[in-house]
Amino acid sequence: MTVFVQECALGSANGLRVAIKDSIDIQGMPTRMGSAALAQAAPAVEHAEVVALLLEAGCHIVGKTNLHEFAFGVSGINAVFGTPLNHRYPDLVPGGSSSGSAAAVAAGDADIALGTDTGGSVRVPAACCGVYGFKPSFDRVSRQGVWPARTSLDCVGPFAADLAQLERAQAWIDPSFEAVPFCGELSIGLVSVDANASISKAVADYVAASGCDVAAVELPLLEAAFEAGLAVINAEAWGAFGAYVETGLVGADVAARLRNAANTGQQALAQAEQVRRDFRAEVDAMLARYSVLVLPTLPDFPLLLADALAGKTDIRSTALVRPFNLSGHPALTIPLEIDGRPAGIQLVGRHDQDALLFAAARELERRVTAYNNKHQRSA
């Protein structure tokens, strides 16, 4: 069950250990994107900008992590390089596509890790593996040296075992990021969604424990944004990786999905772009009323690993995260465990106000921790 597909030792030996998804260039190492079709890829000639920034910050890069092939899958399985073990929940999938990065942090093999998130590919594996994950505002973090090279959805984002470390990692890869304290009252728009009842209840209970002003809200275009996000990623993934299908070296699941993606027409893309504009405006309007929006990260619990290895997939696992790739808003997932199974609490913030989202997350965690400590003492 492979987490690292290539090990290395770059940077300060005393720095925080960092794992890098194998869709991000490290100088002198091939970027293979989890695919046998790129097994003979030439070594990268320079570091991706985010890698260079981590090295400048004194980090110690320990290796490149496995992923769902071409970063185009939600389960995180990989038949060629091995499926990363979900350390805390070994019977469940690690989540995709940044499976190895989430798994490395969960197992303690790295202090932080970088992944990429095109349709939930940081937030989903973070939730599956019980760690924190963050997708920044679109185009906020450099994608120089990150694959695919052209995208209107994908963002580089960090994983960490706690919120403070996650924010620290984000500040390193985003030179414009400046942490801020939370000021004023924390108001929460709790988004009504179609999700497993126990997950919805646990998320609602979490925000209620904060004592914040919480209001149930609707995002009527959420489902349309999910479908539009699928159309856009299909077109962009086919453009980036479709040519590799004819090599016969692409895994069956990804090859089938790429062939289907080839059928994405211009009308579907035009409609998707209209939904992108409308949904972004809808989210902006809601965030003008509330500090953050909160909803589950996953609509249901992760698939059993055995089922995924047998060919089952669940694209609906991205139903609550993919819309915010389309809109470009920053989104953060906090681990949540329900009866021994992982889920996640997703916070969505104002566009390009990433530091304010972290401040709100810190305040929310502080309040919930205080509530839990108080009730534990009185129990």
Please write the tens of the pLDDT for every residue from 136-186.
999 999 999 999 999 999 999 999 999 999 999 999 999 999 999 999 999
How many angstroms separate the most distant Cα atoms in the chain?
A: 65
Q: What is the pLDDT of residues 122-134, one digit of tens each?
A: 999 999 999 999 9
Known active-site residue 187: no
pLDDT attached to residue 1:
54
- For the question of residue 121 being annotated catalytic, the response is yes
| Mean pLDDT on 220-234 | 98
Which position among 23, 75, 97, 210 bears the catalytic label? 97
CATH assignment of the domain containing 50: 3.90.1300.10
pTM over 0.95: yes
Mean pLDDT over all residues of the chain?
97
**Nearest CA-CA partner of 84 in 165, 159, 156:** 159
Distance CA 318, CA 322 (A): 6
Assess whether 98 carries a catalytic annotation.
Answer: no
Cβ atoms within 10 Å of 376's Cβ, excluding its own? 8
Phi/psi for 262 (5° steps) reads -60, -20
- CA-only gyration radius of the chain, Å: 19
Catalytic residue among 35, 75, 99, 121: 121
Q: How many domains does the chain have?
A: 1
What residue has token string 């769902």?
68
pLDDT digits (tens, 9 = 90+) for 24-53: 999 999 999 999 999 999 999 999 999 999
From CA 334, how far away is CA 345, in angstroms rounded?
5
Tokens of 5: 């597909």
Q: Give the domain extent around 161.
A: 4-378
Q: Is the pLDDT of residue 242 over 80?
A: yes
Q: What angle do CA 266, 272, 273 make, to 5 degrees?
A: 95
Of 131, 147, 141, residue with least CA distance to 35: 147
Task: Map residue 288 onto helix, strand or coil.
Answer: coil
311 near 292, Cβ under 8 Å?
Answer: no
Place of tokens 């197992």: 107
Q: For 192-343, where are the alpha helices, taking DSSP H only?
A: 197-209, 222-241, 252-261, 266-287, 305-309, 322-327
- Tell me the two tokens of residue 276: 């992108």
Which residues, other chains included, contact 246 with Cβ-Cβ below 8 Å and sequence gap of 6+?
none
379 pLDDT exceeds 70? Answer: no
From the list 36, 44, 35, the residue with the least C-alpha distance to 8 is 44
CB atoms under 10 Å from CB of 115, counted, come to 34
- Provide the 10 A C-beta neighbour count for residue 274: 12
Per-residue CA distances from 363 to 164, 181, 284, 289 (Å): 12, 9, 21, 18
Closest by CA to 22, choosing from 361, 39, 9, is: 39
